[in-house]
Amino acid sequence: MITTALRDALRARGTETALLCHTGAGARAHLDGLPLAPSDAVVDLDARVLGEPLELRDLWERDSGPEAGLVAVVAATPADLHRCLAAAADLPRAVQVVVAVVDTPGHQEPPLPSAPAMGQWRELQEMRVRRAGRGGWLCELFFPNGVETPQVLDAVWFGTRGRRRGPALAPLAALSGPEAALWRPGDTGARGIGAAGPVPLRRVTPVGDMALRVGEGTPPEWTDEAVPALDRRTTGVDAWERIAAPGGAEVRENAGPSDIAPVDELTVNPVGFSKDASGPMGDLTVHGDRAVVRQGKKDLAVIAPDGSVTDVDLSRMRHLRCVRVDWSGHTGPTAAVRAVASLAAGGVPLVGGPLPAWATGLGAPLADLITAADAEGLADPLRREEYSVRLRRTALRLHGSRSRWRELGALAGVPVPPAPTVSVILCTRRPDMVGFALAQIARQRGVDVELVLTLHGFPASLPEVDAAIAEYRATGRPLVLREAPADRIFGSVLNDAVASTSGDLVSKWDDDDWYGPDHLADLVQARTYSGAELLGVGQDFVYLQEVDLTLWREGRSESSSRFIAGGTILTDRAVLEETGGFRPVPRSIDTQLLIAVMRGGGRIYRGHGLGYVLRRTGGGHTWSEDMAFFLRNRIQQWFGWRPSALLEGEPAPFGRPVTEYTGELR
């Protein structure tokens, strides 16, 4: 179907120049046999050397620049389309743009592009989005006058994520050399430059805050005194065939994570993770001349020579219990490290035994996790998911593109924007639970936390409350204290608390539940890759206090969802403004917020629930479900309080010891 659509597009363009591009394994085959004119060109975006001009003939010369009659891009997967956007940044304007994606993972939304906000598409004549085969999509746009092709590609890809783009890559970068696009996936603002510089100006300002030069030999002397440059090597420099050749390359045994092209966390992430631990083991190994993930005699995924892994690759191995890493193969050391880091970032449980010296680019924390993994232990679904969370958390922190560029910016001496701050809103009616709740918040790590504590119906002067607040403030974390009258409606109390926050993000907290020390950090990380307006976790772990029983319940995690635990909500301040905040009602406040987000076209994302335990007593909750509701759909149960290992136990409460509490529960 894709080839047929391209043939029709070539026929419709008349005598105007067409540019046909491809990216990802197998995408080139869809361009075979097309009737090309002498002035047409076929471009492999994966092989583009940024900084070298794109040689095209017979383009229209418009006031706005060169213009083609047709630009078509065929991508094997959404990950390939996103990765190539930096390489596509200098594609010419076009009156017809065709974007084809050969295959997509099951969780992806249709690629429905949204028009840019400055009127660039007001003359749009026609747009068609249709299926291409079982898992592919075809998007065609027609304009009377040429539009920016990279902008169209960007809009098509982000159509698969909804409205929210997530944190931008910073600092701005200019790129040079082969494989440079690997370092800035999805960045249509990155500009190709010559290897010696300088970085061009846009009016009076350089188009990049720093430059990254990727190559194989000694780079030329850098000529731009205003913009710093860093140098990195391609993945082919230390390919095994070069190392094995007479006088060949040396193995980079002292490489660190910052020497490795990053993982594109917007496409390579744990979305779609399966809790099923009954599947077979796969192998990351070599079959023929290719690195593959193999199950028995079947190749589930073929790893690109540069080590790139796609979202479709991950979806094809979600049923595996784990993947065993064969360190003896792969294209070369750097490519192998990229592949392993990508699988780990996707939450694929990995086992591999002792790591070779050349795998130092993984980083010690990630290497230690893989080395200590036990394949037999991963047959237990809880242990498997706990290990997967540790892997993905560590890999995304060490190898995600946003964290990588913050590190590169620091190496180049370029300031980067601060990480988002989180304001936690805690509203409680129970003085005896204040110390317990503050202890949970105080041990949060990996995020900058502000606490807005609202005492609903009692004063801060109570001894146990005053002691808990003093101990929390001794940690050095900011605390905003509020008191609300007992008769003020709960939803209004929450809105008043939000008005007192100063953080970029707002998280709701319950006073009686347990939270692991990485609860907030994991949600902030998921906010980066999920594209969701609101995030939280499910009630995977529930402690039934009446019968002293802990349940681990079924339920998908790392997926879009209509329901999350209200005590785990994390969202942007702007989302609360757009949805009207919490409704001024006494019950079902959290559910009403979720409904408002969905009604406005927003996405709700459910992260893993292993760092949260919902406490349930006999009654008095604003969410009314009896004990039988929680006993259904349980995977395992234990007598006593038995959380996931990711909770890391229970912190000692601030103030007076928590006793069996009484009074109305929220």
Tens of pLDDT, residues 518-547: 999 999 999 999 999 999 999 999 999 989
Rounded CA-CA distance 606/604 in Å is 7
Distance, in Å, from the CA atom of 324 to the CA atom of 130, rounded to the nearest integer, reads 38
> Of the given ranges (164-168, 246-250, 382-386), which has the lowest mean pLDDT?
246-250
* pLDDT for position 657: 47
Domain ranges of the chain: 2-158, 173-244, 263-399, 421-647
Give the range among 37-46, 209-218, 231-240, 606-615 with minimum mean pLDDT: 231-240
Q: Cα 341 vs. chain centroid, distance in angstroms?
A: 14
pLDDT, tens only, 447-502:
999 999 999 999 999 999 999 999 999 999 999 999 999 999 999 999 999 999 99
For residue 626, what pLDDT is reported? Answer: 63
pLDDT score, position 328 = 78
pLDDT reported for residue 628: 67
Q: What pLDDT, on a 0 to 100 scale, did the predictor assign at position 621? A: 44
pLDDT confidence tier of residue 226, bands split at 50, 70 and 90: very high
pLDDT digits (tens, 9 = 90+) for 296-341: 999 999 999 999 999 999 999 999 999 999 987 677 899 999 999 9
The C-alpha torsion from 188 through 528 and 76 to 286, rounded to 10°, is: 120
Fold (topology level) of 2-158: Rossmann fold (3.40.50)
Tens of pLDDT, residues 130-163: 999 989 999 999 999 999 999 999 999 999 887 7
How much is the pLDDT for 634?
72
2-158 and 421-647: identical CATH topology: no
CA 313 to chain CA mean position, Å: 16
Q: What b/e string do you get for 31-41 counting C-beta neighbours within 10 Å, with b at 16 or more?
A: beebeebebbb
CATH, domain 421-647, list 1.10.1240.10, 3.40.50.180, 3.90.550.10, 3.20.20.70: 3.90.550.10
On average, the pLDDT of the chain sits at 92
Q: How many CB atoms lie within 10 A of CB 26?
A: 14
Rounded mean pLDDT, 1-30: 93
Confidence (pTM): 0.94
Gyration radius of the chain's alpha carbons: 27
Percent of the chain scoring above 90 in pLDDT: 80
* pLDDT for 81 beyond 80: yes
Q: Is pLDDT above 90 for 635? A: no
Residue 189 DSSP code? T
Q: What is the model's pLDDT at position 660?
A: 40
Taking the C-alpha atoms of residue 203 and residue 195, their distance in angstroms, rounded to an integer, is 22
Alpha carbon 634 to chain centroid distance?
29
Model pLDDT, residue 622: 45
Average pLDDT over residues 543-553: 92
Q: What was the pLDDT predicted at 107? A: 86
Closest CA to 229 of 374, 101, 413: 413
Distance CA 258, CA 398 (A): 9
**Please, are residues 542 and 554 in contact by the beta-carbon 8 Å criterion?**
no
How much is the average pLDDT of 18-31? 96
